[in-house]
Amino acid sequence: MTKPLEGRRIAVAGAGGGLGPAVCQALVDAGAWVAAADRSKDHAAPVSEIAHVTHGVDLLTEEGAQGWAQELGEVDGVLHLVGGWRGGDTVEAMDLADLDLLEGLLFHTLVHTTRAFAPLLKAAGTNGRFATVSSNVVARPTAGNAAYAATKAAAEAWTLTLAAELAETGGTANVAVVNAIVTPQMRAENPDKAYKTFTDTDEIAAGLVYLCSDAARKVNGQRLHLHG
């Protein structure tokens, strides 16, 4: 039986983090050729045995993202997984350096990635897919999370704008939404914890594989809620 992503070339940005290994594995299992990048080759080590190729790319720089896209040449899908969190303080007490940091990690890396890959995704026609993972705090901000919620909101708005542009060529861009991610390692370290409001990495990975597949051809500009 043909696998759902057979023959598709998918780039995964921020692949060496908590979610990346499950996503890369699910893509490979679905038949995709996977190019994984993290801020350095060492950071990409968790997926070096899973992805077909790994790159060290600093996505805080536009040149880094452009160089990676040029190196890959042809790409059907891009998954942006670069993350980070700062918070806990009120709007008046928070350190504005944290806002700068999150703006870089959560928004600028996504801006640079999409700007570099948009021409390739448009050239991929109906196979062209982009997706990122966001947080439910965008819709329901919680105290102490202003910088995180605001920068994730910017990333969502940018992604949904890209969706409108990709609609012209039959591609899609979507946002998967979770409260928090639980990794296999977290479960192993804390076997008695229920992680009730968390989403497991393989469940998010399955959602992202779906968004890259033909089955999601008509799913564009959506927030796919994966938090139960």
Ligand X SMILES: NC(=O)c1ccc[n+]([C@@H]2O[C@H](COP(=O)([O-])OP(=O)(O)OC[C@H]3O[C@@H](n4cnc5c(N)ncnc54)[C@H](OP(=O)(O)O)[C@@H]3O)[C@@H](O)[C@H]2O)c1
Interface with ligand X, residue 133, by CB under 6 A:
yes
What token pair was written down for 136?
A: 């439910």
What 3-state DSSP class applies to 14? Answer: coil
Interface with ligand X, residue 30, by CB under 6 A:
no
What token pair was written down for 159?
A: 């992604």
Strand partners, 79: 12, 131
Of 123 and 160, the one with the shorter C-beta distance to ligand X is 160
Interface with ligand X, residue 60, by CB under 6 A:
yes
Interface with ligand X, residue 59, by CB under 6 A:
yes
What 3-state DSSP class applies to 148? Answer: helix
Half-sphere exposure of residue 108: CA atoms within 13 angstroms, side-chain side: 14
Of 106 and 166, the one with the shorter C-beta distance to ligand X is 106
Of 76 and 156, the one with the shorter C-beta distance to ligand X is 156
Nearest CA to 11 out of 42, 43, 57 is that of 57
Interface with ligand X, residue 50, by CB under 6 A:
no
* Amino acid occupying residue 9: R
Report d(CA 27, CA 82) in Å as an integer: 17
The residue behind tokens 């998967």 is 176
Task: Provide, rounded to whole angstroms, the least separation between the CB of residue 181 and ligand X.
Answer: 4
Instruction: For 34-61, give the DSSP string.
Output: EEEEESSTTTTGGGTTTSSEEEE--TTS
Interface with ligand X, residue 22, by CB under 6 A:
no
Of 79 and 118, the one with the shorter C-beta distance to ligand X is 79
Interface with ligand X, residue 141, by CB under 6 A:
no
Residue 199 near residue 178 (C-beta atoms within 8 A): yes
| Cβ-closest position to ligand X | 17
Interface with ligand X, residue 21, by CB under 6 A:
no
Of 105 and 168, the one with the shorter C-beta distance to ligand X is 105
Among 105, 120, 121, 211, binds ligand X (CB under 6 A): 105
Count, residues near ligand X per rule CB under 6 A? 26
Which spans of this chain sit near ligand X (rule: CB under 6 A)?
Answer: 14, 16-20, 38-39, 43, 57-60, 81-84, 105-106, 109, 133-135, 178, 180-181
